[in-house]
Amino acid sequence: MNPAVRNVFVVGLDDFNRQRLESLKGAEECRFHGVIDPEAVYDTEVFDIAAMLEESTARLEAFDGTVDAIVGYMDFPVSTMLPILCERFGTRSPTLSSLLKCEHKYWSRRVQQEVVSAHMPAFTAFDPFDDEALIRISDAGLHFPFFVKPIKSSGSRLGFRIDTPEDFQHAIERLQAEIGLIADPFNTVLEQARLPDEIAAVEGHFCMAEAIIGGWQCTVEGYVFEGEVVSYGIVDSLRYPQVLSFFHYRYPSGLPEVVQDAMCALTERVMRHIGFDNSAFNIEFFWDEVQDRIWLLEINTRLSQSHCDLFEKVDGVSHQQVALDLALGRRPEMPHRRGEFAVAAKFFYRVFFVDAVVVRVPSDEEVTALEADFPGTVIALQVASGQRLSTLPEQDSYSFALAHVWMGADSAERLLEDYERLAARLTFEFEDIVG
């Protein structure tokens, strides 16, 4: 084997992302290998992390060559597996402890409170299996309305706004039925870490209650290299009117420069304090324009896969460049505004049913024609004919995303106009609709 080749192992590598990775600067020096089949992390909500770690370790140990980097570009379970695998094989990554200070939502809030307390909502942890949970939340000083989510959440799944006791009861029933899908594998990870006693007591089946925060939502994409915190782009997260479901992610941000600068300063302060290093991350913020106040929503210990195409369209390269460079010990070099478009977005084509059966989706020919009519557009259908919507993984609590649509344009206004024209031609049909 060529000794100059760097062997990069990607957890959950699929063909689409292999092509992206192979187009990055310096990729010609790398050979990309999959670790764990993509179906095991994309097409299921059942994650046996212990078995996946065992399988990954065996595959890496059996490899005839050097293991130079182990990377991923997904949230749970991939993000939490990486530090464990990297430590076993001596490759670069943040420590498991620093990663959990971001991903364990209660621990993360406790650590954030030490340095950015003015930018956090009131919060408390609670056990959804405790009959007195609502009383304990009230005793902690939280009253309606508030938001609840698991200690380890994935996307917007099992997140609920609570305005009444009935809302809370509905959320509790869902949480009790489904939280184990994330909690059980997350506990496998927690068992491998040294946790403070007060954090260890709040295991994976616990939830968070937080005061409602809101405003203009965005995500700061960044990385830490040898202790240096760098923010390289801010992506806006825009929701459908009157609901919690995302409509589209847009890059670059339309926030005032002074607000963007303040968010980057907060990002540097909190990531330094956590001790997170040698990895990509992103932090979600709100800017309350009325109060001119910035709120920190949560920290994610990986770049957003949803944003890869946005950076490629606007800056000229997917920000997977950052993850690859860091894994190989190189200072990342992201280009700036060298892409084909001035603005780009990922749109979520949604329906707001409780459930339904899909009886028609756009054909391959229809999708190809739409992509040709809107140059640069990529359409990824999320459902198939005959599928029941409630079987879709990783959905929020209020809607179902039928398609993801990435588009670019010369202005934010033109971007929305183009999407509306495209969406009018995306034809889905349903039966057994539960409204």
Strand partners, 235: 219
CB count in 10 Å sphere of residue 234? 23
Closest C-alpha among 132, 144, 226, 156 to residue 394: 156
What superfamily would CATH give domain 122-211? ATP-grasp fold, A domain (3.30.1490.20)
Cα(73)–Cα(100) distance, rounded to whole angstroms? 17
- The per-residue pLDDT for range 91-107, each reduced to its tens digit, is 999 999 999 999 999 99
CATH architecture of the domain 343-435 equals: Alpha-Beta Complex (3.90)
Q: Which residues of the chain have pLDDT under 50?
A: 1
Number of residues that this document lists for the chain? 435
Class of domain 213-339: alpha beta
Q: What is the pLDDT of residue 243?
A: 82
Q: What is the pLDDT of residue 154?
A: 73
CA quadruple 191, 195, 199, 200: dihedral positive or negative? positive
Q: What is the pLDDT of residue 2?
A: 53
Q: What is the pLDDT of residue 315?
A: 98
CB 395 within 8 Å of CB 405: no
Cα(255)–Cα(213) distance, rounded to whole angstroms? 17
Cα 62 to Cα 36, 78, 189, 356, 381, distances in angstroms:
14, 21, 24, 46, 37
Q: What is the pLDDT of residue 3?
A: 54
Q: What is the pLDDT of residue 189?
A: 95
pTM of the model: 0.94
Cα 133 to Cα 124, 151, 196, 206, distances in angstroms:
11, 15, 23, 11
Cα 168 to Cα 41, 173, 211, 214, 394, distances in angstroms:
30, 9, 14, 20, 21
